């Protein structure tokens, strides 16, 4: 509430909901839904925000088109609003399907189409991909938890990415990027693989024109 009064962007409520922290009696989504009801389209860079605003805000009176940034970039390319140099990035890429745009909302091909423009090589798929993808380990508030037994989920997923021989693990979620950055360090693979958001590669390609 204080953030809203100071005209500062507020939270969408996902973190409070998944961590069951309703102690302050206020879920940010209630106020945000009211603020953005006049907007026709909302573009999100976070799949967690995307799913929350698209699928849960209608219950709070918020109805609008919600677009993930990879889908927005794909539309811009299809409508020739932006042009990227074909094959700008020649590194071997693999792509991780974030849970909340993948399994929850069936966004699979748009990110891959963007990558296919940026890279003349086909995206090297991990063993588990699309609707069979594996979580980065950061969902449901687990980004702030410590595993007591077994292998960390982010390290397990990074190992799957390394198995493809890819140099770059492309992602489309800030949670995933944070988890994989930590996972790459955890398996000591900093010299073998980088984690990058698709939008970062797009920006570099646009700047090269």
Q: What is the pLDDT of residues 37-74, one digit of tens each?
A: 566 789 999 999 999 989 988 887 777 899 999 999 99
Confidence of residue 6 (pLDDT cuts 50, 70, 90): very low
User: Is 77 a domain residue?
Assistant: no
Report how far residue 69's alpha carbon sits from residue 100's, in angstroms, rounded to the nearest whole number: 13
65 and 91, same domain (yes or no) = no
Report how far residue 70's alpha carbon sits from residue 108's, in angstroms, rounded to the nearest whole number: 10
pLDDT, averaged across the chain: 84
Sign of CA pseudo-dihedral 156, 134, 153, 174: positive
122 and 188, same domain (yes or no) = yes
User: Is 20 a domain residue?
Assistant: yes
Q: State the total domains in the chain.
A: 2
pTM score of the predicted model: 0.82
52 and 143, same domain (yes or no) = no
Per DSSP, 56 falls in state I
Full domain range(s) for residue 36:
2-69
65 and 88, same domain (yes or no) = no
Quickly count: other Cβ atoms within 10 Å of residue 37's Cβ.
Answer: 13
């Amino acid at each position: 509430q204080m953030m809203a009064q100071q005209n500062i962007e507020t939270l969408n409520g996902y973190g409070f909901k998944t961590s069951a922290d309703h102690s302050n009696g206020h879920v940010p989504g209630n106020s945000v839904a009211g603020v953005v009801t006049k907007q026709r389209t909302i573009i999100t860079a976070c799949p967690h925000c995307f799913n929350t605003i698209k699928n849960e805000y209608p219950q709070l009176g918020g109805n609008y088109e919600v677009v993930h940034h990879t889908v927005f970039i794909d539309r811009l390319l299809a409508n020739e609003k932006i042009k990227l140099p074909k094959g700008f990035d020649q590194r071997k890429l693999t792509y991780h399907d974030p849970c909340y745009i993948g399994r929850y909302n069936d966004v699979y091909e748009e990110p891959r189409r963007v990558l296919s423009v940026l890279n003349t090589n086909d995206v090297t798929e991990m063993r588990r991909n699309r609707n069979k993808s594996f979580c980065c380990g950061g969902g449901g508030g687990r980004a702030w938890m410590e595993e007591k037994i077994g292998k960390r989920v982010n390290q397990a997923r990074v190992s799957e990415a390394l198995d493809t021989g890819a140099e770059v693990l492309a992602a489309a979620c800030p949670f995933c990027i944070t988890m994989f950055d930590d996972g790459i360090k955890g398996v000591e693979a900093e010299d073998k693989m980088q984690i990058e958001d698709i939008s970062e590669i797009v920006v570099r390609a646009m700047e090269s024109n």
